[in-house]
Amino acid sequence: MLDDAKLTVQIVKNTAALQSRVRAKRFGQHFLVNPRILERIVDAAEPLQGKTIVEIGPGPGGLTREILRRRPAQVFVIEKDPRFVESLVALDGVTVFNEDACDFDYNQLINDNRKISETTDDFSLSQSDQPAPANIRKQIFAAIEVMNVVDINNRLLPDISALVHQFYPHCQGTERRRIKIISNLPYNAGTAIYVNALKHADIIEDMTLMFQKEVAARLLGKPNTRDYGRLSVLTQYFTEARRVMRLTPGAFYPPPKVYSDVLHFKNRTDADPRVLDDLSAVCLEIFQHRRKKLKNRLIKNTREN
């Protein structure tokens, strides 16, 4: 592992373009090279042996090498920065996608038999014949109105994710081969990458991801707290989330100006990816308006129905 760590550091330092602060800021690149930290991140994602793993933004491949040590069945990496593609392709057992993870279609990893080995043992198939959930907005606004809890400034709202599970208790996505995602996400695109992954929640088993500390707080935010918002609702509807550890700026090369949190998300089997767009839109509508405007919307919603 120490030899791998030295190689990773050397790759980073030999990548001349990383010395450009403008380019590094554009990609939000801050790489982990400490072998102990890499081990702890991958430990949080265990078990990996025999599993299909996706890593987002591997850069020089430090985390990738630690993943490979755990003997997964398949490793796919999504790397937008073309400077790292050649060194990643050279890693035995890695398939590289030089694409943007913000809109990556994870279904291609399931549907293309050439990419997924038939020997992987975590495959099940049970087609759901349930219709897509409807009227989510109407249900949520009606529940908020009945509870008379509309103090947005103080985040006094019901548990919205629990309401959706209550409205649609039997929502089940199609059970297909499950994948695990592990990533030191770029700060400037972490939220977009995360939400895109939720669109494919029915094929994702769990995710171990790193975010800026403030973003992590919003992801883990509970009802009636200042951090509660759209990201909190989406996280609680789709996953069971916990914080694994906090990292200081000194853990990265080059060091950022912020602290970071590694979070683990275990995807819920009773969440339906088809509700994501509607649920996200409702949350934006709720949390982007102050108390008076929300009351007016509730009144309007009542008149419409």
Q: Is 148 exposed, middle or buried (0-12, 13-18, 19+ CB in 10 A)?
A: exposed
Q: Residue 107 domain-assigned?
A: yes
CB 236 within 8 A of CB 159: yes
Residues 90 and 33 in one domain: yes
CB 185 within 8 A of CB 193: yes
Q: Residue 31 domain-assigned?
A: yes
**Mean pLDDT (whole number) for 63-70:** 94
Q: Residue 131 domain-assigned?
A: no
- Distance between CA atoms of 215 and 263, rounded to whole angstroms? 11
Given the DSSP bridges, would you call strands 94-97 and 74-78 parallel, antiparallel or unpaired?
parallel
Residues 48 and 150 in one domain: no
Q: Residue 164 domain-assigned?
A: yes
**Which CATH number is 254's domain given?**
3.40.50.150
What pLDDT is recorded for position 292? 53
Residues 99 and 190 in one domain: yes
Residues 185 and 95 in one domain: yes
**Mean pLDDT (whole number) for 210-225:** 94
Residues 68 and 10 in one domain: yes
Which range scores top for mean pLDDT: 146-150, 164-168, 207-211, 275-279?
Answer: 207-211
- Distance between CA atoms of 222 and 229, rounded to whole angstroms? 9
Q: Is 7 exposed, middle or buried (0-12, 13-18, 19+ CB in 10 A)?
A: middle
What pLDDT is recorded for position 297? 59
Minimal CA–CA distance to 198: which of 207, 189, 186? 207
The percent of residues in the chain predicted with pLDDT above 70, rounded, is 72
Tokens read off for 66: 């630690």
Please give the model's pTM, rounded to 2 decimal places. 0.84
Residues 141 and 223 in one domain: no
Q: Residue 130 domain-assigned?
A: no
Residues 237 and 109 in one domain: yes
Q: Residue 204 domain-assigned?
A: yes
Query: Which amino acid is located at 23 in the chain?
Result: R
Where is average pLDDT lowest: 151-160, 245-254, 284-293? Answer: 151-160
Residues 116 and 233 in one domain: yes
The domain tally of the chain equals 2
Residues 145 and 185 in one domain: no
Where is average pLDDT lowest: 7-16, 53-62, 279-288? Answer: 7-16
Q: Residue 99 domain-assigned?
A: yes
What pLDDT is recorded for position 231? 97
Q: Is 21 exposed, middle or buried (0-12, 13-18, 19+ CB in 10 A)?
A: exposed
Residues 62 and 205 in one domain: yes
Residues 180 and 164 in one domain: no
Is the predicted pLDDT of residue 276 greater than 80, yes or no? Answer: yes
**Mean pLDDT (whole number) for 229-240:** 96
Query: Which amino acid is located at 16 in the chain?
Result: A
Q: Residue 128 domain-assigned?
A: no
What pLDDT is recorded for position 196? 97
First to last CA, the chain: 63
SS (H, E, C) the chain: CHHHHHHHHHHHHHCHHHHCHHHHHHHCCCEECCHHHHHHHHHHHCCCCCCEEEEECCCCCHHHHHHHCCCCCEEEEECCCHHHHHHHHCCCCEEEECCCCCCCCCHHHHHCCCCCCCCCCCCCCECCCCCCCCCHHHHHHHHHHHHCCCECCCCECCCHHHHHHHHCCCCCCCECCCEEEEEECCCCCHHHHHHHHHCCHHHEEEEEEEEEHHHHHHHCCCCCCCCCCHHHHHHHHHEEEEEEEEECHHHEECCCCCCEEEEEEEECCCCCHHHHHHHHHHHHHHHCCCHHHHHHHHHHHHHHC
Minimal CA–CA distance to 27: which of 82, 87, 95? 82
- Which residue in the block uniquely carries the two structure tokens 């920065």? 81
Q: Is 137 exposed, middle or buried (0-12, 13-18, 19+ CB in 10 A)?
A: middle
Question: What is the domain range of residue 157?
Answer: 136-168+281-304
Residues 41 and 157 in one domain: no
Is the predicted pLDDT of residue 106 greater than 80, yes or no? Answer: yes
- Which residue in the block uniquely carries the two structure tokens 């609702």? 233
Question: What is the chain's mean pLDDT, rounded?
Answer: 81
Is the predicted pLDDT of residue 91 greater than 70, yes or no? Answer: yes
User: Higher model confidence: residue 284 or residue 145?
Assistant: 284
User: Higher model confidence: residue 5 or residue 213?
Assistant: 213
What pLDDT is recorded for position 299? 53
